[in-house]
């Protein structure tokens, strides 16, 4: 009887330690960095803060110095041509340093808001963030990929995986940080 109680206590302790270990892994894997900038820009542009965190995690893993093979820069992996458009046409300012975290987040979130307003549904505007507006416009005009003005299939495998990843990350962020303050 004593050994059964002991085993139950050891099992309970093991389960507790395992839960703590998993929790630590989740928080390490899904950090919140640049919280003040993300929060400010998300509120200003009315873009879901969890979506912004998911995009940053997927695009750069929160490394502000990341530069892709295609030349996308910073936390939100913005191409210089996109940054120029965002700065001049959307934010009405001169382009700034894309490796600066605050600037990169501001441009990325402004661009997400622009795409959100243009394409209306999250699946479509996330596809546009990754594959470009031109591609998404073509897909929306092709009945193989769109129905009733909404994108239902993404022909680019990379973009399909990207959108799925962002939406998954967004759910995870919302679950582990239900009240970001």
CA distances from 42 to 17, 49, 139, 162 (A): 36, 5, 28, 21
Catalytic residue among 59, 89, 143, 158: 59
Question: Does residue 59 carry a catalytic annotation?
Answer: yes
Active site residues: 59
């Amino acid at each position: 009887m004593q050994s059964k109680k002991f085993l139950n206590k050891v099992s309970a302790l093991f389960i507790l330690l395992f839960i703590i270990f998993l929790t630590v892994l989740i928080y390490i894997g899904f950090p919140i960095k640049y919280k003040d900038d993300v929060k400010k820009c998300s509120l200003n542009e009315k873009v879901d803060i969890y979506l912004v965190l998911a995009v940053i995690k997927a695009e750069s893993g929160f490394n502000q110095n990341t530069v892709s093979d295609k030349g996308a820069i910073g936390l939100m992996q913005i191409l210089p041509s996109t940054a120029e458009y965002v700065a001049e046409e959307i934010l009405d300012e001169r382009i700034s340093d894309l490796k600066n975290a605050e600037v990169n987040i501001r441009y990325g979130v402004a661009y997400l808001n622009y795409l959100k307003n243009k394409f209306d549904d999250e699946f479509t505007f996330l596809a546009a963030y990754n594959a470009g507006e031109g591609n998404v416009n073509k897909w929306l005009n092709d009945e193989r990929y769109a129905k009733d003005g909404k994108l239902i299939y993404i022909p680019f495998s990379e973009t399909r995986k990207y959108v799925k990843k962002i939406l998954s990350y967004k759910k995870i962020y919302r679950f582990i940080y239900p009240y970001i303050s």
